Chains A and B, each alone.
Chain A
């Protein structure tokens, strides 16, 4: 904490010294000296104060513990009455290789609650936004017009148009449970204990400890979305690799969309 405060104070000093130079060039060096003294203390207080309340909920999925039972998908369906043919949370199977050198890996999927969420950037009505208090990306079902722009923009195909409501729907980390101190339904129902949910910004939380002590990956890191769902031991193989002809990859999405986006 003190380290980060010191760093931001340094940055502030740099900024003010640049301002200093400009103002001195303008001929009012005295005012600038006052500003250089006054501004840094105010700014750092403000920043650290904000940082203290800022949560970022996230999830680590330890794929080594996943048995591909779809409990999470079923629990999610039941929790939200998700209509037939749509999924907020689903499990993909990746089958690789040719007998006898084969493997099957599971990849549980959900909304990544990205730090830079492309869906939020494109939403024309402000219906989708990232909550300041906990970093959950939500859809305001009362504002959404169902234009499907966010569905196009999501690199994870996490969103769908709910045919019953006509608005866009997706995983919201079980906001109704989480806000009452419960775990999300998929975490609660995971028989292998593969899912860990918590506040990533708190270094003492279980999720932060697991992330710090294990190799973790995110999906499509090249998109720059900075997801908040992390995987341990995930197989990132995709059917695109088949064109190399080395080994067969077959992905079963268990969704209406047979292809991974």
Chain B
């Protein structure tokens, strides 16, 4: 096996930056949304905004100290070129700065839906959503930019990373909600909690469905190709070195089980208009599975790209 040039710090960065950018993007979208979430809107937006910057900064710390010359990291900002890593660095820097400002608007004790920071908060949300999406998507472009790595060299990888980032972002917001928002005395607030939980679960199911479609397309088109890509993708197909981890952790635990459970939960309300009741155990278990799956996805893709190579010399 070939030595891994990009190891665990890079894998963790891809996962953490995706999760954080996803959480902030979801937070901003929920905040800017007109209806649906009732009194929960602000609480959900606050969850996402406060979760977001930390993993992104932790991931950034990890990759900076993974560099051969960590103290030269600022050389990235001496110029702008078309390298995805250069553009990504500018985006990442902007995102950390903006998402920290956005999180700060939620911190004062007086912070609430109609406080005096409302305008600033909404403006920052408007900027944070596109920048967050860009941070989530550029990591996939960065890996996909190299013909020498046939496993990565696909435009659909960036789409997969984006959906996975948003999905782990929603999962982290649901998970935080169980601990910080759930136990409220006011029954009206609890109703809103259930309702917002329904919307988050339904959007997560949509994102997971999208991820499964992208993975299906990825595998299908690799199978329909001959040459480098097909040879490379064999490592995650049955019989490949990474197949057990890919099908077990990413597909079954990270995507299929959460999707089935979420569909079972949302269908009564979606189709028959019944009441959606959130169950705490499931609200802990499913997001945890999604987050494990999101990490496994980055891990397997980063490793698979590096242990495979173009077939012909």
In angstroms, how far is the closest chain A Cβ from the Cβ of B159? 20
- Which residue of chain A is the closest to B231 with respect to CB atoms? A240
Whether a CB of chain B sits under 8 angstroms from the CB of A122 is yes
Q: Which of A118, A149, A237, A260 is B85 in contact with, Cβ under 8 Å?
A: A149
Whether a CB of chain A sits under 8 angstroms from the CB of B33 is no
Which of the segments B45-53, B64-72, B97-105 contacts the partner chain? B64-72
Which residues of A from 156 to 181 have beta carbons under 8 Å from B?
Answer: 161-162, 165-168
Number of A residues whose C-beta is below 8 Å from B?
A: 40
Q: Which residues of A contact B6 (CB under 8 A)?
A: 148, 152
Whether a CB of chain B sits under 8 angstroms from the CB of A97 is no
Q: Which residues of B contact A233 (CB under 8 A)?
A: none
Q: Which residues of A contact B305 (CB under 8 A)?
A: 152
Q: Which residues of B contact A167 (CB under 8 A)?
A: 68-69
Known A-B contacts A123-B83, A152-B6; the reply to A145 vs B68 at CB < 8 A is: yes
Q: Please, how many angstroms separate the alpha-carbon atoms of A88 and B223 in the complex?
A: 36
- Which residue of chain A is the closest to B305 with respect to CB atoms? A152
Q: Which residues of B contact A122 (CB under 8 A)?
A: 83-85, 145-146
- Which residue of chain A is the closest to B145 with respect to CB atoms? A122
- Which residue of chain A is the closest to B227 with respect to CB atoms? A222
Q: Please, how many angstroms separate the alpha-carbon atoms of A155 and B142 in the complex?
A: 16
Whether a CB of chain B sits under 8 angstroms from the CB of A259 is yes
- Which residue of chain A is the closest to B88 with respect to CB atoms? A124
Q: Which residues of B contact A118 (CB under 8 A)?
A: 146-148
Q: Please, how many angstroms separate the alpha-carbon atoms of A146 and B68 in the complex?
A: 4
In angstroms, how far is the closest chain A Cβ from the Cβ of B230? 12
Q: Chain A: interface secondary structure?
A: loop
Whether a CB of chain B sits under 8 angstroms from the CB of A193 is no
Q: Which of A144, A256, A257, A259 is B69 in contact with, Cβ under 8 Å?
A: A144
Q: Which residues of A contact B79 (CB under 8 A)?
A: 125-126
Query: Are the C-beta atoms of B1 and A259 separated by less than 8 Å?
Result: yes
Whether a CB of chain A sits under 8 angstroms from the CB of B110 is no
Residue numbers of A with Cβ under 8 A of B are 118, 121-127, 143-149, 151-155, 161-162, 165-168, 219-220, 222-224, 236-238, 240, 256-257, 259-261
Residue numbers of B with Cβ under 8 A of A are 1-3, 5-6, 67-70, 72-73, 75-76, 78-79, 81-86, 89, 142, 145-149, 231, 305-306, 309-313
By Cβ-Cβ distance, the 6 closest A-B pairs, closest first, are: A146-B68, A155-B148, A166-B68, A124-B85, A124-B86, A124-B83
